[in-house]
Amino acid sequence: MSNLHNQNSVKNIRAAFFLNLSFTIIEIVGGVMTNSIAIISDALHDFGDSLSLGIAWILQKFSEKENDDKFSLGYRRFSLLAGLINCFVLLGGSILILSEAIPRLLKPEQPHAKGMFLLAVLGIMVNGIAVLKIRNGKSLNEKVVSWHLLEDVLGWFAVLFVSIILMFKNLPILDPILSILITLIVLFNVLRNFKKSFFVFFQSVPDEVSIRDLEQKIRHIEGVNDIHHTHVWSLDGEHHVLSIHLVVKEDIERRLLSRIKQSVNQIGRDIGVDHLTVEIEFGGNDCSQRLTSEIK
């Protein structure tokens, strides 16, 4: 059942990818032909989304791969590299668009309003179909992609609105204003995602995890005398790793020791930990005299 769902996820994301990429090409050509910097800006946005979709498609297939001798924790961390590349592409493109749009505020150029209108209608249709394709997806990839595409639909409604105004009013300055607004929204999302990827890449403690609260919960487990060397980091922003040292009494019963492991395991799962390593230290033994127990 899980494998069937994963295959459907791959198909849905693949279909959305080809729809988005095909329309991005049409959009770039249409933006140049209509002389609309707003449409070219949205084309950049859609190109970034195409990259995201392509990466999501590849990673969805990659997620089927188990850990091996080369990557003992699996392949999830590859998504960080893909995300960082995507951020840099969008950042460079956004700066280029702003360099073109800002001068047009001073010298607005008249775009082809009817062409903008037709492209906006097509954009709403294409992105709307893609949203419908994956709106019921259960995977994280599908949910993230769905939000990206819904954002695109709203952007095209904005282009549609401006094109209608331009058909009746001579206000060419609306085109660069809309372009700058779209680009600033893209930049905001790029910088936010870059910050998240940066911190995950350097193995920071996940935002939703408090080491203090985590240790406090574990200290309340019967049989745990002390805790140290608590390390929590994330593989990809969703799947976390926890490593911790527990100090217990030397004469602890095997049954109680097993219960401690189960309790720590449950606490780890509650915060999204996929891989948990507990090192047990008995009494006054230091870290070099320990029994290492890995809980999966």
Cα–Cα distance, 87 to 48 (Å, whole number): 8
Q: Per the structure block, which two tokens stand in for 68?
A: 């091996």
Cα–Cα distance, 56 to 142 (Å, whole number): 8
Contacts of 272 (CB under 8 A, 6+ apart): 206, 208, 209, 238, 239, 240
pLDDT beneath 70: ranges in the chain: 1-13, 45, 49, 52-53, 56, 59-67, 72-76, 78-80, 82-83, 86, 133-151, 284-296
The pLDDT, as a whole number, for residue 186 is 74
Residues 244, 204, 232: CA angle, nearest 5 degrees = 15
The pLDDT, as a whole number, for residue 29 is 85
CATH 3.30.70.1350 range(s) for the chain read 211-295
Cα–Cα distance, 150 to 137 (Å, whole number): 14
The pLDDT, as a whole number, for residue 287 is 58
Tell me which fold the domain 2-201 belongs to.
Answer: Alpha-lytic protease prodomain-like (1.20.1510)
- Span 3-50, pLDDT tens digits: 444 455 566 667 777 877 888 888 888 888 888 877 787 777 677 767
Cα–Cα distance, 105 to 41 (Å, whole number): 15
The pLDDT, as a whole number, for residue 3 is 46
Comparing CA positions, the residue from 83, 89, 87, 98 lying closest to residue 182 is: 98
Cα–Cα distance, 11 to 18 (Å, whole number): 11
Q: Per the structure block, which two tokens stand in for 77?
A: 């961390």
Q: Per the structure block, which two tokens stand in for 260?
A: 């401690």
Dihedral pair phi/psi, residue 248, rounded to 5°: -130, 170
Cα–Cα distance, 74 to 238 (Å, whole number): 14
- What would the CATH number be for the domain defined by 211-295? 3.30.70.1350
Cα–Cα distance, 282 to 114 (Å, whole number): 77
The pLDDT, as a whole number, for residue 9 is 58
Beta bridge partners of 227: 246
pTM of this structure: 0.61
The rounded Cα 208 to chain-centroid distance in angstroms is 16
CATH 1.20.1510 range(s) for the chain read 2-201
Beta bridge partners of 233: 241
Comparing CA positions, the residue from 133, 150, 185, 146 lying closest to residue 56 is: 146
The pLDDT, as a whole number, for residue 140 is 44
Cα–Cα distance, 30 to 121 (Å, whole number): 13
Beta bridge partners of 277: 243, 294
Residue 131 exposure: Cα atoms within 13 Å on the Cβ side: 14
